[in-house]
Structures are given as C-alpha cells and as structure tokens.
Structure 1
Amino acid sequence: MSQGAETIGEDFALGIDSAAVVEGAPVRGHVGGKDAIMVRKGDEVFVVGAFCTHYHGPLAEGLVVGDTIRCPWHHACFSLRDGQALRAPAFDALARWRVEQVDGRIFARERVKTAPPRPVPARVPRAVAIIGGGAAGFAAAHALRAEGYDGPIEMISADSAEPYDRPNLSKDYLAGTAQPEWLPLRDPAWYREQRIDLRLGRRVERLDLSGRRLLLDGGETRGFDALLLATGAEPVRLPIPGAEGSTAFYLRSVADADRLIAACSGARRAAVIGASFIGLEVAAALRARGLEVHVVAPEAVPMARILGPDLGAHVRRLHESHGVVFHLENTATEIGSGGLTLKNGGALAADIVAIGVGVRPNTALAEAAGLSVDRGVLVDACLETSVPGVYAAGDIARWPDRITGEAVRVEHWVVAERQGQTAARNMLGRGERFDAAPFFWSQHYDQAISYIGHAPAWDRAELSGDPASGSCEVSYFAGGRKLAVATLGRDLDSLRAEVAFEKAMGALL
C-alpha cells in the first residue's frame, strides 16, 4: 500500500516531447521525485499523482474516460482536472501540477492546491443522522463534508470500532500481512476535525419518522432533518448443534477477525463451512497462517452459480494447489469441540470452524418504522425510501437497477460506498440517480477476480481465455442480455465492461 522510493520515467518538470503523450494513454514519470502520470485529452494535458489513493493501484495501467481516470484494481475514479476522487473506494484526491506547453514540449510546473468544495444549495438539512458506521455510512458522512455541507452530522454505529476497511478482514488482515493500523478509513482526529459526532457501540431502538427523532439504547433521543439508514447485514447463523459454540466463528467485524486470529494460535486444523467468496478468502488466509484447511460446501463446483463452471473449477484447483482440501456436495450437521459431523456420515477433525454461508440485511428497524420493505428497504433511483428525506444505502437497499431492469439488493463494499455518496448528495438536493454498475473483487492467493454488473441468474456464460493461464473473461447473459462480466488478470477489460454498462444505462454521456 505504500509508495516505493524509486521513481520511474522522465522528470516532467524538465519537460517531455509533446509527441510522446498520446490521447488516452497515460505516461508514467515524476515531478521532482514525486510519482506522476501525464494524460492528454485533445489539446489539454494533465499531470496528476501516479497511484490510486485507495490501495495504491497504478493509474498508468488504468483507463482514461473523458476527463477522468479509473484505477485498474478496484475501479476508483478521479478527475484529471482537479484530482478529486469522484467515486469510491478512493476518497482522497490525487496530487496535481500545473501544465505548460512550450515549443513542442510539455512541462509540469508547480503543485496545484486542491479545489474548494462545491457551493451548497440554499436549502439543506438542518441536521443529518446516519445509522450505521460501515461503508455506506462513512462514505455519506465524507461526501456531505466534501460537498460543503456545514450542518451537524451524527453517525450512530453498533460497532465499537471507527469505520474500517471491512473487505480486508477476510484477506490480508486475517492472513497476518496487513497491520491493524491499516484498517481504519480515517483516524479518530478526522471525525473531530470534520465535526462528525461518531457514536460507537450504540444502537437505535426505534425510529419516529413523523417526529424526525431516533430513540437510542438507554432511552436517549436524537433529532434529525435528513436520515440515512445504512444498517448493513449480519451473518446467517447455521441452525445446527454447536454453531454457536466456542470453536465456531463468524466473520463480519474486526472484533470477529481478532477472535478468529487469536484462536489460530495453537490450532492445527481448520474447517470452513461454505465455499463462498468470503469462505474461500478465509480458507486462503488460514493457509497463509500455516493451518491445515478443509472446506465443506453443498455445491459440486465452488461458486459455479455466480462465476460459472470454468472459473469456479479454476478457483477450486487454485485452492487445492495451496493445500486446501474440499468436501463438496456435503454439509455439516453438527459442530463439536473436536470438529464436524457431516451429512454423508463422515467426520472431520478441526480445532476451529469458520462459517461463511451468507448474510441477511438488517431491515428490522426500517420495517418497524413503517418503511416499505421487500427483501430489502425499497428505494427509488435516488436512494430515497418511501418516506421523503429518509434514504437507505448499502446491504439493506433494494434499488431499481437498469442493467437487469429489476429492483436489486447487492452486498458489495464498493456499491455501499458509492450509494452512501449518492445518498449524501441527494440530501443536498442534487437529484442524482444511482447508476453505478455494481463492482466487487475477491482475492485468492496471488490472483484477484473482478466482477462488474449483477447477474443473480443467467442462462449463458461465455468464456474468453484460459483461467489456468491467469487471464480470462467470462460474460454472463440472460435472454440475450449481458448482465455481468468477471475477469481474471484483465483489469482493463473489467474497466471497459464497467464503462459499457454505464453507457447502456445512459449514466455516461
């Protein structure tokens, strides 16, 4: 995640030949030792920082779209004109430099300051309340301040930790290669500086929407003018004996991850119930810690329902090559202190059991308040619920998706962040439709799968390339309509698929 000390390419401060900068093809270099890229758009040339401010992805390998550039790793989007992070998962702006063209050469001059926030419309909420301290809640609070909103913001989170990078929990953090200080999205001082009242370890017991008040645990009440519901989801609990025992672990919070990490000390064998993305990421992380890992799942091919048989089979082979043992077309019927009892009558020894069989949206608060709920909190294209001034985002929101033509609910981190940003801007009267194509990534050892779009059901999967080579693309269709694209080792193709979906939805003009 940290920038290397060695710079690459020419020093743009000394100037480069104008002919070397081709439209849409970023040129890697530096400005006085600071990594940078130079990008041409028509007669204009921009110089901005070379690395994404999210996970340090190389923007020189990204995609230029209009006057923006998108990160090849996790699809963050930045303005080339002012360096601002336009879409999550990045929040911090890129460095940028003034550009001058003289006698056929292009020079990067002095560093340019970050642009001021947009002016706020005359009518804004007197106070904003955000219920939930996850991806959507944090992104909304950040966007409100970035858009210039100066009123009170209160964020109420049942989690005892400041908002953190949840996807990392099943990846590097669980594997032991990410330090705890990498997880927080911002340090505590940021919330104080931004005047965001962050209430951790607190629950909202009831919503009084007509009176615009929240009732917190302990009897405290808080008022609001605009409200974002971002209560997220919770793991599905297995309805079998022992699933709540001392050897069984669910992974949702950093506290869950810390308990699982502590249990790895002295453990030799682990069982993972569920061959989902989370389940297999946990399996990879536990292998990195040196544990023997067995995966139990009911399907014949891991993740075939989502990724198709070819890519699913590749994922299985990849894990097997790292020592994971699969017990497929099987389920656990009981968890004991020494391991699992399986449906086929077998037994599996395990010191710890990680359970990853899906999550359920936390919609009880919304439902009790009388909001429209149907397999999620129903929202319109601007993420507003059935009550004006009340928005929902993230794992609980079910919105009209123009890719599938249906109302959908998606449990992706980046989707939650982007929805939080959209909801915040709409609280300020922007009238912005949420039309970002859903995106997520999943890390398995040294290979990352990127998935763009949403295909809950598909009738045809077209494979391009060979998964075994580490480079392939799978497109998913229903009734002749492309709904989603998964890629392995083809980051630019994933970005191009994102742009194609946006164009199809009319979101990109």
Structure 2
Amino acid sequence: MAEEQSPPAGPDLTQGIASTDFSGATLLGHVGEHEVLLVRSGSEIFAIDAHCSHYHGPLADGLVVGHSIRCPWHHACFDLRTGEAARPPALNALSVWQVEHEGDRIFVRRKREQPKSRGKRPVDAPGKIVIIGGGAAGLAAADMLRRQDFRGSIVMLSSDAAPPVDRPNLSKDYLAGSAPEDWLPLRPDSFYAEAGIDLRLKSNVTSIDTKARDVIVANGGAIPYDRLLLATGAEPVWLPIPGADQPHVHVLRTLADCRAIIESIRGARRAIVMGASFIGLEAAAALRTRGIEVHVVAPEQRPMERVLGPEMGDFVRALHEEHGVIFHLGDTVAAIEGKRATLKSGSVLEADVVLAGVGVRPRLALAEQAGLKMDRGVAVNEFLETSVTGIYAAGDIARWPDPHSKDNIRVEHWVVAQRQGQTAARNMLGQREVFDAVPFFWSQHYDVPINYVGHAEKWDEIAIDGDISGRDCLLKYKSKGRVLAVASIYRDLASLQAELAMEQALSR
C-alpha cells in the first residue's frame, strides 16, 4: 500500500487569513497541496515556496533579511521578489505566489509568472570564458555567467568522468545508502547543452599560456580564452605506507571513488577509517549506518579538536562511540598487508575495507606553471583575481583577503567554493564585486548536524551557550574578545543570526 502523505501545513491561503492572524515575520500555509510561506518584509508581504530548493529545509524556521529569506539548515538565501537563489548552496529558484489583499484579509491563489533575474548586465563582456574544474566553484561560475545574461562561449574543462555532483552527499547520505544516485547531479545532463556550456569531461589540462591566452589540453590542442577561472579544487592525500595501493584501500573525493567504496563494502564486515577528519568521520557514520564495524585510527588525541575545540571534540567522539565506532587515537596505520593493518603502536587490525580520510591538498600545479603568485595556495585579491590580469581563482586553491578574520585565508568548504565561483563569474563580467561572504560549512554525524560560520584558526576563548552533550548548543570562538567563528548544534536560527552579525560588523 502506498504511504499516505501528510496534509499540507497551515491554513488554506486560497480561503484567506485575517491580517491580524499574521503578526510575525512568516506564516506557513498552503495552496492546494503546495505549502506556501507568507513573509513580511517591512510593510510588504510576499509569498514563496515554503522549502529550500537545496535539501528541502523549512524556510518558516529561517531568517528574513531585507527582501530575502535564509534557509536555517545550510544558509542558502532566496530573493522574496523573484524567488531567485541568491546564495548557495541552493542553485534553483523557488516559485513566487501572488498576494492579494481584500479588505482585512490576505489571499494567495496562484503562482506569479517567474520574474526575470535582477542580475546586472555584463559591464565588460568578454567573448570567451574558460573554466578549469568541474566542482562546486566551476559549476557555480558557469551557472552564474548565464544567469547574468553572458552570451559568449563558456568552456568548462573537468578532469572528472562525471558531470558536477553534490560532493557533500558522497560522504553522507549517498554513502550511507539513504540517498539515491539521481539526487547527486547538481544539474541534469541536458542543462549544459541547453545553457550553452561546453562541458568537457576527462579533460587533462597540461598548461596555461598566459601570453597567448590559451589553455593547453592533452590531446585537445589549445583553447583560447579572454577570461579564465581556475577552480581545480583539491585531491585526497594518500599516505605513503606499504600496501596503500591495494584495491580495497580507498580515498573519497569523486563519485567514482564513492561507487568503488560502495562496491567494496558489499558483504564486508569491518572497515578501517584512517583519519578523524570531517570526511573520515562522516564516512564512519555512513558505514555504521550500513551495519559495518568501523575502527577509526588517527594521530590526534581528540577528533576535530583543531577546528571545533576540546569540548566539541569529546562530544563527537562520544557520539560515534554511542553508535559503535571504535577509536584508536594517538596512533597511525604503518602498513597494510592484505586485510591486516599494522599500527605504529604494534597493534594489528583486520579489515575488509580501508578508507583514507587524512585530508586533501590543493591542486596548484597549473597555477604554479602559469607563474601566478602563490601563498600556500593561489593568491587572489578581494575580487578573486590572481596576479595575472584576466585570470581568477576560486574554491579550495584560492587564498583571499578575508575582511572578517582580517587575514589571508584559504578554506576548503563546499559553500565557500560555490559563493566564490559566483563572485568570480560576476567579476569576469566587469562588476568588481568584493568577495566578503562569511565562510560556512556543515557536517552531519548520524542525526546530529554541526553548523559552523566564520573562520578561526586559533582562539583564546570558547564561550559555550547551552549543553553540548544535550545536542543544543552554540559555541563562540573568540580572540581578544572578538568572535571569529560560531559552531552550533540545533541552534539554526542563532547560527543564521551569527552569520548576519558578522556581515553587519563590516559596515560599522
């Protein structure tokens, strides 16, 4: 028997509601089977789809800022007037609905025709744009170029075998078996041809000729460009240990990597995860969801302590131990012989599958070959332009002047890469937009989400509000009294408010 669907929430907006019944910032109702959110912005009332187009987050629990609303889960942002996805991780627009006032009642009966984007027309439109990279930054840039009405050619060169996918899902729901593969593509295959984006997969770029303005592709000749975006991302670190090249030893970065792990764990009983990083522990949670015994081997004494601090690190360890993960901390894998892994301490673990989650390194070879200025990454200015005019960098490789931390930083976060890709796209069209977005990432461990805004490489105080072990908390990472970053568990609105406060601090 088909599962019964829950009726849509809230009042039937086609029957109208009294103005006095809508006193807050939002009100959730429905039109037929569609859940619709009424949103008050100043003296205006808007109606918009009630759920984020990213992971279906409930916008009723979000934050209204001017003519926009922000999703509580992963901080996507939508324009209330147009429905446009103004900030990643959401890329798809929402429907907007017609609000009608009759006497003292508010009605919503029909969708409005989708308004056109309010994006600026190109100021200095080049003819040819080339994007090197098929990840978060590259796709976001190509998509934004077309949203900005750029009509020149876009060539997108990806070394991957698959079109751009939702990489965060690879270590979370997809690996756990709770998300189908058709959720992964960021855009349908038809999108690229329809948008006029020449996506070339399995493309190995060998060099960049900055004088001739050509990108040289192995077996593909020279591709000319007027503007170039480097979005080459990062690659997993392979530990130089005996046996790491065996077929049951994996890294997790691409869809192909994830497919190989899923195939490798069919019938597996035990897995070793090397590294207690975000990717490593998310993968550990996914494997435990599949019923596989998981051993985590890592050199640190607490997982995630460097980023989240000791209290949150202890919580993360306890959470995984509650779910049966066995930790071997202060230790490393010294060698893998068949299914036997020998640790530096001398202990031996048997495992059917080994996953190396010990971090990534930025892919910098092309930038170095091209003679771009380097600074533990590709150095860019506030507009994400490199030391060579017309060449931009975004994502894992870019080190930019961050106005929030007041330092030059490089951040390996999915949402940061997407937002940089969009800013770089607008700047390649001459808009000169400063990249000043507050860094954001989220991590998922079983049913516990951890949100993090800002950037703190070091701090002298962690102010804890709430109860970490009770999974209801907000942590502020401070240096000399100034809040650099905020981590939270189930404090979604407070996380959005912390992000907004950091943005507003720039204008003071």
Alignment-derived partner of residue 79 in structure 2 = 79
Secondary structure of residue in 2 paired with 1:468 = coil
Q: C-alpha deviations, 1:392-441, integer Å up to 9, x for none?
A: 00000000011211110000000000000000011111111111111000
Distance 2:466 2:75 in 1: 22
- The alignment covers a number of residue pairs equal to 504
- Structure 1 range deviating more: 473-482 or 373-382: 473-482
1:227 is matched by which residue type in structure 2? L
Matched, 1:134 2:131: no
Secondary structure of residue in 2 paired with 1:143 = helix
Distance 1:399 1:443 in 2: 27
Alignment-derived partner of residue 107 in structure 2 = 107
- Structure 1 range deviating more: 327-336 or 56-65: 327-336
Alignment-derived partner of residue 442 in structure 2 = 441
Alignment-derived partner of residue 296 in structure 2 = 295
Are residues 490 and 122 of structure 1, via their aligned partners in 2, closer, same or farther at CA, if it must alter by over 3 Å?
A: closer
* Structure 2 counterparts to residues 279-358 of structure 1, below 5 A: 279-358=280-359
Secondary structure of residue in 1 paired with 2:388 = coil
Distance 1:479 1:220 in 2: 54
Q: CA deviation at 1:362?
A: 0.4
Matched, 1:36 2:59: no
Q: CA deviation at 1:121?
A: 3.1
Distance 2:360 2:164 in 1: 19
Contact 1:304/1:312 (8 A) holds in 2: yes
In the alignment, structure 2 segments of 5+ residues that lack a partner are: none
Are residues 443 and 407 of structure 1, via their aligned partners in 2, closer, same or farther at CA, if it must alter by over 3 Å?
A: same
Contact 1:158/1:202 (8 A) holds in 2: yes
Q: CA deviation at 1:4?
A: 5.9
Contact 1:21/1:39 (8 A) holds in 2: no
Q: CA deviation at 1:254?
A: 0.5
In the alignment, structure 1 segments of 5+ residues that lack a partner are: none
Matched, 1:271 2:277: no
Contact 1:300/1:329 (8 A) holds in 2: yes
Q: CA deviation at 1:247?
A: 2.4
Contact 2:122/2:149 (8 A) holds in 1: no
Alignment-derived partner of residue 52 in structure 2 = 52
Distance 1:122 1:423 in 2: 14
Alignment-derived partner of residue 14 in structure 1 = 15
Contact 1:339/1:353 (8 A) holds in 2: no
Contact 1:11/1:33 (8 A) holds in 2: no
Q: C-alpha deviations, 1:59-94, integer Å up to 9, x for none?
A: 001111111100011100001111111000111111
Taking structure 2 as the reference length, the TM-score comes to 0.97
The alignment-based identity, stated in percent, is 56
1:395 is matched by which residue type in structure 2? D
Distance 2:122 2:442 in 1: 36
Q: CA deviation at 1:128?
A: 0.7
Q: C-alpha deviations, 1:148-193, integer Å up to 9, x for none?
A: 1111111000001000000000001111111111100111111110
Alignment-derived partner of residue 259 in structure 2 = 258
Q: CA deviation at 1:32?
A: 2.9
* Structure 2 counterparts to residues 199-210 of structure 1, below 5 A: 199-210=200-211
Alignment-derived partner of residue 408 in structure 1 = 409
Alignment-derived partner of residue 236 in structure 1 = 237
Are residues 4 and 229 of structure 1, via their aligned partners in 2, closer, same or farther at CA, if it must alter by over 3 Å?
A: farther
Distance 1:122 1:500 in 2: 31
Alignment-derived partner of residue 386 in structure 1 = 387
Q: CA deviation at 1:119?
A: 5.1
2:458 is matched by which residue type in structure 1? A
Distance 1:405 1:119 in 2: 29
2:98 is matched by which residue type in structure 1? R
Q: C-alpha deviations, 1:366-410, integer Å up to 9, x for none?
A: 110011111110111111111111110000000001121111000
* Structure 2 counterparts to residues 96-245 of structure 1, below 5 A: 96-117=96-117, 118=119, 120-121=121-122, 123-245=124-246
Taking structure 1 as the reference length, the TM-score comes to 0.97
Q: CA deviation at 1:241?
A: 1.2
Matched, 1:95 2:86: no
Distance 1:155 1:219 in 2: 13
Q: CA deviation at 1:240?
A: 1.4
RMSD between superposed Cα atoms in Å: 1.4
Q: C-alpha deviations, 1:461-500, integer Å up to 9, x for none?
A: 1111111211111111123221100000111111011101
Q: CA deviation at 1:47?
A: 0.4
Q: CA deviation at 1:237?
A: 1.3
Secondary structure of residue in 1 paired with 2:405 = coil
Secondary structure of residue in 1 paired with 2:203 = coil
Distance 1:382 1:6 in 2: 47
Secondary structure of residue in 2 paired with 1:469 = coil
Distance 2:423 2:340 in 1: 46
Q: CA deviation at 1:339?
A: 2.5
Contact 1:465/1:472 (8 A) holds in 2: yes
Matched, 1:431 2:432: yes
Alignment-derived partner of residue 26 in structure 1 = 26
Secondary structure of residue in 2 paired with 1:366 = helix
